[in-house]
Chains A and B, each alone.
Chain A
Amino acid sequence: MEAIHTAGLTKHYGRTVALDSLDLSVRPGEVYGFLGPNGAGKTTTIRLLLGLHRPTAGRARIFGIDAWRDPVRAHRRVAYVAGEPALWPALTAGETLEFLAQLHGGTDTAYRATLVARFELDLRGKVRALSKGNRQKVQLIAALATRADVLLLDEPTSGLDPLMEAVFRDCALQAKQRGQTIFLSSHILSEVEALCDRVGILQAGRLIDQGTLAELRHLRAPTVELTFSGSVPDVRCPPGARVVGTAGNVLRLEVTGNPAAAIAAYADCPVTGVVSREPTLEEIFLRHYSGTGPSVVTRPERERQPSRGG
């Protein structure tokens, strides 16, 4: 049985289409990266998976359980980290962990203590006085300590410093090794590259691409950087290549055709170095969101404004 499965999952908010017929499946033990710009529908997808919002059409299942119909049973197998931590201001960090553990059940308290130490969380601080990063740590520790089958993580490292991001990656990899399924919504590409087996790219409510990192890399031509001893020569760009930039005496080419032809065009020039590399996910990402697909700004996600004062 699949850990996460959606079929034709659609959500409209009034006339806004937040999610348009999403088909997803994530196998148990898989780490799935869910990428997309702000407002693409990532958070909406997670809310539908959790049964917090009702699908306009289609269905979402976690281990075969429809969370809209049977949230309690579905949530026993899930731990969730929200992008915007909304906790109880009057509780301390430690009390919050205790409360969330009581609600979820099955928390591994020894592991929790380890996590608290690794994330260097001060348990005595009141939530109202914690920085966003520290509130994020509280959520992460609570979620990881449940050892739930599925971790739904919505931009889990927002607000964390680079050291803590590294701790998070480490813990996520451990969870992966233990066979937990991770659904990681993010726009931090290096994080997704480091952790995920498969990646889906969401834009304006539609899944526009999906595959393993290796598969997605084929979408983008390699980049060839040529360094010259003098200034960049004025040579006509060969067919099958495109100049994407020059910096000093370095010329950067995007090669879509035969690389040999491209390099041959510069054979008579004083080349001192050649570097060819695979595109980063960032480059793939940028290509998907500039030019080809529909405009990114047409369907904004519902606004989420934390207003603590009330």
Chain B
Amino acid sequence: MPVVGLARQAMRQARTRTMAFVYLFALYAYVQPVGYRGAYPTQTDRHRFATAFAGNTGLRLLYGQPHDVVAVGGYTAWRVGGVLAIAVGLFGVFASVRALRTEEDSGRTELVLTGTVSRASVVAAALAASVSGVAALWLAEFAGFLLGGVPAGGSAYLALATAAVGLVFVGVGALASQLASTGRGALEVGSSAFCLLLLLRILADTVPGAEWVRWLTPLGWAELLRPFAHPQPYVLVLPAAFAAAMCIVAVRVAVGRDIGVGLVSRGNRADPRTRLLSSPVAQALRDQRGALASWIGAVAVFSFLLGVIAHGISSSDLPARTRRQLLKIGAGSVETPTGYLAFLFLFLVLVLSTFACSRIADAARDETEQRLQTLLAQPVSRVAWLGGRAALAAISVVALALTAGVATWAGARTGGVHVGLGQLLEAALNAVPAAVLFLGIVTLAYALTSRGGVALGYAAVIIAFLWNVVGSLFSPPRWVLDLTPFAHVGLVPTQAVRGVAVAVMIVIGVVAAAVAIGVFRHRDVL
């Protein structure tokens, strides 16, 4: 069966990514119910918790609409379902774009098609591999819940509500792969669609009267399935139908078009434009313009929206006990609009750090695709190349942070929250040092291992973030929590900038980058 063989091969290629997500899903699903029982042992605790959160717009925005959070199941569904639905959505887009368009882009699909396999089977095999990745995540999440002591039936259903989102985004990725001609282009199309659908879910969860919008987005369907609180399993028809429809359309388009070309194909001829060709770094900037614009655009839109929503945060005085409970879930200051904005900038750290990793990933690709040899055979020093790419990444991080600051301020003003532009710019820049730290780490990881190093960098960012979010549920000793850089980011503007922490993070980042450049000078270039 050639299809089975092809699907296996595709799964093998995606193995590292899939396994990373599997561990993440299992761990996250296990930790939340266990932590909840530890933090809120009695029914009274849980009621108090529920009333504090029932109307908190800020938390709804992040985790979605809560149902029945006084029970372990309901709480787990709320805390885990929303976050993992986002993760599985991104996973779906990546999985199918990599299996379809990136393969085609590399010329391997063409090779396979010269054999005795039909076009439809090649696409079907890629989709089967992506869907099996989503199935693995379903299993991982289910297993995590079971180990965490959540009832089996509800666990399976909750994990299914998450996985259904993944299926839809496998379809989205498959369609994007038909539209764009390159892997990079398809990822841009797919992730833009994802951002749009996430925005719709956020609107539905936070704007009064907009609940119906939930029906328009797969991320909303996951909420409408209502695991543990009046389940509505018939909603599953929606993701199933849409995923199937998109996959079928993708197959039909793929069968009818030229190999290597997308439906929306940019021309292959152009008049020369000689700007930004003076150095390797200038050329890298030229090459990344599209990606940078997408990141800046997405950050601007989300920041603006989050700024607008800040207005809805309850500013009534909360009792001290509730405040302590808020602290327990790592959302200590979300009771005022400004506090809520400060809390959001913690997510900006995550975004900037991930972005920094993606810039070094771009540089690493120059090496794995052998362009770096072409470059370094010229009178170009390795120090200038890697140092330049790291510096370009750092400058881009600052630009992205400033965008977030300005857009959040504009949003907050639009929503009627009185907060100064200076305050929010300071808050945004306060997110930069941790990103610089991770930039240094990912550069070092890349210098040490050209293949796979960047993946380690991404892993470091995600583990450090989850450490911060989840760790506090277990009330571990202070130093355990302090291991993650996220714990040292001051909640500006509510708190002051932590000068020492900022300096330490920047120094570690710069030193790591300097060591990276030293290591890179002395290794073989692929």
A interface residues, Cβ below 8 angstroms from B: 47, 50, 52-54, 71-73, 75-76, 78, 80, 82, 84-90, 92, 94-95, 98-100, 102-105, 122-126, 128-129, 139, 152, 304, 306-310
Contacts and interface: CB of A to CB of B under 8 A. Distances in A.
Interface in B344-400: 365, 368-371, 373-382
5 contacts: A88-B283, A92-B272, A94-B272, A124-B270, A308-B105
Interface string B287-301: 100000000000000
Interface of B: 101-108, 182-183, 267-274, 277-280, 283, 287, 365, 368-371, 373-382, 522-525
A98 B274 contact: yes
B373 A86 contact: yes
Contact of A125 (B182, B269, B273, B524): B269
Contacts of A72: 379-381
Contacts of B287: 88, 90
A50, A90, A306 — which one has the most chain B CB atoms within 10 A of its CB?
A90
Contacts of B376: 50, 52, 71
B378 A103 contact: yes
B380 A308 contact: no
A304 B381 CA distance: 23
Contacts of A89: 182
B524 A53 contact: yes
Contacts, number: 117
What 6 A-B pairs come out closest when comparing CB atoms? A309-B106, A129-B268, A86-B370, A309-B105, A80-B377, A309-B102
Nearest to B278: A102
Nearest to B362: A310
Contact of A307 (B277, B369, B377): B369
B45 to A, nearest CB: 50
A102 B279 contact: yes
Contacts of B182: 89, 128
Given A54-B523, A308-B105, A104 B373 contact: no
Given A88-B287, A310-B183, A103 B375 contact: yes
A128 B287 CA distance: 13
A98 B382 contact: no
B380 A50 contact: no
Contacts of A152: 377
B272 A104 contact: no
B269 A126 contact: yes
A100 to B, nearest CB: 7
B365 A103 contact: no
Contacts of A128: 182, 268
Given A307-B106, A308-B105, A75 B378 contact: yes
A304 B183 CA distance: 21
A105 B379 contact: yes
A92 B270 contact: yes
Given A54-B524, A95-B274, A125-B269, A75 B369 contact: no
A50 B174 CA distance: 43
A47 B377 CA distance: 9
B365 A310 contact: yes
A52 B370 contact: no
Contacts of B269: 92, 122, 124-126, 129
A54 B380 CA distance: 17
A309 B368 CA distance: 10
B370 A306 contact: yes
Given A92-B269, A102-B279, A310 B377 contact: no
